[in-house]
Amino acid sequence: MAPPRWLRWLLGGLLLLAVGTALFYRDRVDPAAVEAWIQGTGGLAPLLFLTLYTIGAVLFLPGSVLTLAGGALFGPVLGTIVNLAGATIGATLAFLIARYLASDWAAEHTGGRLERLKQGVESEGWRFVAFTRLVPIFPYNLLNYALGLTRIPLLSYVIATLVCMAPGAVAYTYLGYVGREAATGAEDLIRKGLLGLALLALAAFLPRLVARLRQRSMLEVDEIHQRLEAGDDLLVVDVRTPEEFTGPLGHIPGAVNLPVDELPRRLDELSGATDRPVALLCKADRRSAKAADLLARNGFSDVHMVRGGMTAWNEADLPIERVSSSAATEGKGQ
């Protein structure tokens, strides 16, 4: 159940106050005194620093500075473990705070290109998280909250964050261990190494994201029906199995049946439709999302998904057919 509006406003206000206070006093804190205090706690020092790192991530304190401090305090091995744990826990906490306070608001108020961007990010899921963690130009603190506004699964977010922040954590922890003064050249080398890793991630990921962004937002079944009734040049592609196509739910009159598992090797059957509006549907909308990704990556410029698929179509009591799939697939790509 969604939290009451007043509670979200109250918690959001308290969070902003805490962030503002942390940023205001950030330059007034003596790092040497803090390090001496942590070292004075003995065996509790790693746990104390992990807690401070987690809180710092939530309050927008710079993660690179904290990571350097962890290396200086605990060395390259323990420092990396503590830093990576603190960064991951802090990132997860910020993610959950954003999801609790504002994800519903974001879902209701995003539209147009921003909505398409959000859908593209959500469709990529852990891949987008991995990409942004590997690319050093994305601000760590802001990204934690921004991703919480999406529907990316928590477990995927946590695992991708942990794994893909590890290279940077190892590098900056070691830099903190050897000392900034003794490693001014090493910092530049580390940045160049991470940038190279980021470019590899960019080359692998960017085509997928571009393909996602080329997709259009979902269409409702009523709109599909109206466009077909009006004679719109809309190609309806049903990506269910032939058995489902002719089964109890039936199919939309005039729909083309191309099962999603067969779609990669049957794309030539749609070669004449790359510039036509294409509506994809399945039983709900899961398989149609996979098909939309494939079509967008193969040059189809106007791809849509039908929200709720044939389930929603039947619930709306719209016309259906249950003829053989071979008859319905005549004229594919025309």
22 is in which domain, residue-wise? 5-214
Strand 235-238, strand 256-257: pairing:
parallel
Give me the chain's average pLDDT, please: 81
Bridge partner residues of 303 (DSSP): 278
The single residue listed with the structure tokens 């592609």 is 237
Residues 71 and 165 in one domain: yes
Does 333 fall in a domain?
no
**pLDDT at 283 > cutoff 80:** yes
Cα distance between the two ends of the chain: 48
Rounded distance, CA 3 to CA 63, Å?
30
Measure Cα distances from 110 to 149, 217, 218, 278 in Å: 11, 12, 14, 24
pLDDT at 205: 56
Confidence of residue 319 (pLDDT cuts 50, 70, 90): very high
Residues 9 and 147 in one domain: yes
pLDDT at 179: 72
- Final residue of a domain: which of 157, 190, 214? 214
What average pLDDT does the segment 5-27 reach? Answer: 81
Share of the chain above pLDDT 70, in %: 78
Number of domains in the chain: 2
pLDDT at 225: 93
- Final residue of a domain: which of 214, 236, 270? 214
pLDDT at 65: 82
250 Rama class: left (phi>0) / alpha (psi -120 to 50) / beta? left
Confidence of residue 331 (pLDDT cuts 50, 70, 90): very low
Higher pLDDT pick, 128 / 208: 128
Confidence of residue 249 (pLDDT cuts 50, 70, 90): very high
Residues 165 and 266 in one domain: no
pLDDT at 192: 56
- What does the H/E/C string look like for the chain? CCCCHHHHHHHHHHHHHHHHHHHHHHHHCCHHHHHHHHHCCHHHHHHHHHHHHHHHHHCCCCHHHHHHHHHHHHHHHHHHHHHHHHHHHHHHHHHHHHHHHHHHHHHHHCCHHHHHHHHHHHHHCHHHHHHHHHCCCCCHHHHHHHHHCCCCCHHHHHHHHHHHHHHHHHHHHHHHHHCCHHHHHHHHHHHHHHHHHHHHHHHHHHHHHHHHHHCCCCECHHHHHHHHHCCCCCEEEECCCHHHHCCCCCECCCCEECCCCCHHHHHHHHHHHCCCCEEEECCCCHHHHHHHHHHHHCCCCCEEEECCHHHHHHHCCCCCECCCHHHHCCCCCC
Residues 49 and 169 in one domain: yes
pLDDT at 195: 59
pLDDT at 209: 53
Does 334 fall in a domain?
no
For the stretch 83-141, pLDDT in tens is 999 999 999 999 999 998 887 777 666 655 566 667 667 777 888 888 888 776 678 88
Residues 210 and 225 in one domain: no
Residues 61 and 200 in one domain: yes
Residues 180 and 39 in one domain: yes
Catalytic residue among 282, 289, 295, 296: 282
Q: Is 282 a catalytic residue?
A: yes
- Final residue of a domain: which of 214, 229, 251? 214
Residues 147 and 244 in one domain: no
pLDDT at 5: 75
**pLDDT at 257 > cutoff 70:** yes
pLDDT at 328: 40
pLDDT at 219: 85
